[in-house]
Amino acid sequence: MCVPHKPENLTAIDALVDYNEEDNSSRYNIQLYWSKPTYPPNYYQIKLMFYNSTHKPIFLNVSGESTNATIGNVIVTSEEFSVRYWVFITAYSFAGKSATSAIERSFNVSFIPVSDGSTWNDVEVIMIIVGPILAIGLVVMLAANWYFAKKVAKEKKLKYFKELNEKIPPSIITAIGGLSSNNSIPADNWEINPSRLIIKSIIGEGAFGLVKKGYYLDSNEEKIEVAIKMMKEHPTMDEMKQFYQEIDIMKSVPKHPQLVSLVACVTRGSSPLIVVEYCAKGDLQTYLRKAWDKLSKIKNEESFAQSSNPQYVSNALYDFSQSDMTDIPQPKDLISFARQIVLGMEYLASLKLIHRDLAARNVLICEDNKVKISDFGLSRDVYYDNVYRKVTGGKVPIRWMALESMTQQIYTTQSDVWSFGILLWEIVTMGSTPYPGVQTQELLPLLRSGFRMERPINCSEELYAIMCNCWNASPLDRPTFAELRVIFDTLLEKVSCYLNLDISDVSMTQHHCYSNTFSGRYVKQGKIVDV
């Protein structure tokens, strides 16, 4: 989160409201205007000061969404018509305050009461002549200010669209131009001929894309197991643009053990493809839920055997087949998953990339239990100011989003940290859906009031404290991924103290992952409250 920008194009207009003949004073309203910033602050503080006058400074606070304000009932005596005044305005947000903008003016002297005499004096004649000239000059000045402000805004908008157009891959520009193919685009080292791919069955499906398992024939004609992402039929131009941007980002990110790596791509035909490494165990959410089902089955069969035969002695390692016991992660595995995710996110943060959709469903597991973050190709580059403001519509993962992302559509590396806290809760609860029992429309008011999810019964206070730190309302109060890496390195040394997977100690039903996940209780300022 950045310090607010200095308010720009500050303008002040003082208008005479009425005149009091008894004390020969005038009452003014001062109307203020300024430009709307790209990122509105929390509020503005306005200060009015007078030069060489008995008037005390006047302070006024207005909303950060405002672009105008009125300072009313400013009393000026006849001796103070030439009094100069200054207006200062400063923007404030959680990150700090902006530089101050200021403007100096004198009160409008066009109103002078007519004397009791039958003739006008020289001052009155001058005011009659000068007054309209000043008024016309003020109108011209305001019109010029408005014109130049519009011109600057237009130039900024043109620059933005020019830069956006330059980022669109040549294949998109060709498609917009109406050409039938983009085979004239020079290939890079990632580009392959589609004939090198053997495409098999669907293993995943999104809003506008499919993921299929397949094989890539390398230069030695050896088969490499891969996942192949493609668009559905009849994609829109926005969908095509997003798909090509995903390819570009994946090309630009160096290989990392905790990120799903790009193997190859196809961009020179009518059906673009993204070829990535294949992770045999699928996504983390499904993996955890299947493991929970196996644990529940073991516990249920053990309970049935005990009720049928009081002399029954259970040993799960011998009583159940090897297939029943495979892929049931132990506490150390779960903490290791979390640590590996932190390593991947720390690397993305070092590249000034934000993920925006970090969740168990977007983490994949390999055969050797290594986890890799996927869909980071939909990340956004935040190198300039470390902030990305989402301005387009579409579905958003509300239950994983940080508070500032919900309210202001602002995404930062620290909003990814909030999402990691939710992901950690998913891991501890074996794939549960966050905020059980809470309707989506109820979530934002609940979080704003300070409520957070309760500690899972199988989770230590120390591990729960990490989650709560990730869910701090202020992004600056959340840990960084570098700090989280150090924490999880320590946790792995004494993992048994922090997480328990003994199903007999955890009061959950077999289908807890899909409906009533743990309790519907939430924590606010150390107190547990039922929702």
CATH of the domain at 208: 3.30.200.20
User: With pLDDT > 90 as the criterion, what percentage of the chain qualifies?
Assistant: 38
Using a pLDDT cut of 70, give the percent of the chain over it: 72
pLDDT at 317 over 60: no
Residue 164 lies in a domain: no
Whether 511 has a pLDDT exceeding 60, the answer reads no
User: Which of 340 and 491 is assigned the larger pLDDT?
Assistant: 340
**Are 359 and 505 found together in one domain?**
yes
Q: What is the pLDDT of residue 288?
A: 95
Is 523 in the same domain as 384?
yes
Given a cut of 90, whether residue 432 has pLDDT beyond it is yes
The enclosing domain of 44 has a CATH number of 2.60.40.10
Q: Domains in the chain: how many in total?
A: 3
pLDDT of residue 513 exceeding 50:
no
Quickly list DSSP for 280-339. Answer: TT-BHHHHHHHHHHHHHHHHHHHHHHHHH-TT----HHHHS-HHHHTT---HHHHHHHHH
- For residue 357, indicate whether it is catalytic: yes
Q: How confident is the model at residue 116 (pLDDT cuts 50, 70, 90)?
A: very low
507-510, Cβ contacts within 8 angstroms, sequence gap of 24 or more: 507/457, 508/292, 508/296, 509/296, 510/293, 510/296, 510/297, 510/300
Co-location of 313 and 270 in the same domain: no
For residue range 255-274, list pLDDT tens digits in order: 999 999 999 999 987 789 99
With respect to residue 136, please indicate whether it lies within any of the assigned structural domains.
no
Domain extent for 383: 284-530
pLDDT of residue 308: 56
Choosing from 14, 283, 357, 375, the catalytic residue is 357
| CA gap 105, 138 in Å, rounded | 12
Taking a C-beta distance cutoff of 8 angstroms, is the pair 403, 473 a contact?
yes
Domain boundary pick from 250, 277, 304: 277
Quote the pLDDT of residue 217.
93
Question: Is 304 inside any structural domain?
Answer: yes
Indicate if 315 and 413 belong to the same structural domain: yes
* pLDDT confidence of residue 123: 60
Q: Which of 129-138, 344-353, 498-507 has the highest mean pLDDT?
A: 344-353
The distance in angstroms from the start CA to the end CA of the chain is 32
One domain, residues 300 and 240: no
Residue 162 is labelled as binding a ligand: no
Among 240-254, 294-308, 450-464, which range has the highest average pLDDT?
450-464
What value does the mean pLDDT take over residues 183-200? 80
Distance in angstroms (rounded) separating the CA atoms of residues 422 and 434: 7
pLDDT digits (tens, 9 = 90+) for 474-506: 999 999 999 999 999 998 887 666 666 655 544
The predicted model gives 345-365 an average pLDDT of: 93
Domain boundary among 90, 113, 136: 113
Per-range mean pLDDT, top range of 9-18, 164-173, 276-285: 276-285
Mean pLDDT of the chain: 78
Answer whether residue 528 shows pLDDT above 80: no
Q: Is the pLDDT higher at 82 or at 33?
A: 33
